[in-house]
Structure 1
Amino acid sequence: MSEPRVRPDPAFALLDLYETALPEVYGYLHARCGDRGVAEELTSETFLGAVSACRNPGAPPVSTPWLIGVARHKLIDHWRRREREERGLRVVHESEAGSVDPWDAELDALLAREVLESLGAHHRAALTLRYLDGLPVPEVARLLGRTVHATEALLVRARSAFRAAYREKEVRDD
């Protein structure tokens, strides 16, 4: 009887490459996004994504150029997320003041982003999914692992927190 063969985990090859590839991946991302924090976050996402991707059947051999390709995809995903956020903020900003409720009032896009980033993660996630990504409440609930009613309540609290923080920031900046 033959012994079962165990396929080595390709993630070990990634681990061996990590120290030499890390500066190149980070440098690639930093040169393109110009923000140290974003480049660090995307570098982390690149290596986490690479671990999953290299384990897929038929994945190419782990190499620095392959990691740069993964980083490129992570950067594109980041730009798409950012564009969706900005597009949503522009839509709110360009809405006619007379035909919208107070929540949809004209917002300064940069101030709104700053306020959104200052909120707790649960409020930020709910507002982003609902208003920037335009998802219906049931889909937001599914993504957040909540019931629809709990998500509706969360959105009410999140909108209230956003309004209060926005007004406070607006007053402080004036």
Structure 2
Amino acid sequence: MTEPRARSDPAFDLLGLYEEALPEVYGYLVARCGSRELAEELTSETFLGAVSACRRPDGANVSVPWLIGVARHKLADHWRRLEREERGLRLIHEPESSDPWNEEVDALVARQVLDKLGAHHRAALTLRYVDGLRVSDVARHLGRTVHATEALLVRARTAFRKAYPAKEGSDD
């Protein structure tokens, strides 16, 4: 009588990649969300998602770039949750005094300004300008139409301009 063979868990293959991928995934997230605690939480969600994907019958081909993509989705999901919680959307229609999109932006100040914005604005601006995604890709990540995303980016840039401190010595 033959003994039944146990099929190995495909998630064990992920263990070999874990040491290489962990700093990449965590570094990606902490650079975009600015919070160690949040980055740690999203990193664990990313790897839990990878384990689930590995165990599916069609099993994902897990690699570091694939995990970064999962992390990007987890971060976008987080921002969507925050957006729902902060649902108080405000349209800002004030004259633009300074346009940091056409100037050199101080990265540290920009990070602080992004942290002050609503989650929906922060998500759109980060995906578009930090990650360099096309508007259509930003729309897909945020679960919006391209036109809604373009409008969101306009509002987000306006909110960013308003919150971005004017350069010292400017005439504004």
TM-score bucket (shorter structure):
0.3 to 0.5
Name which structure has the greater RCO, CA cutoff 8 Å, separation 6+. Answer: 2
The TM-score with structure 2 as length reference comes to 0.47
The TM-score with structure 1 as length reference comes to 0.47
Of Structure 1 and Structure 2, the greater helix share is in 1
Larger Cα-atom Rg: 1
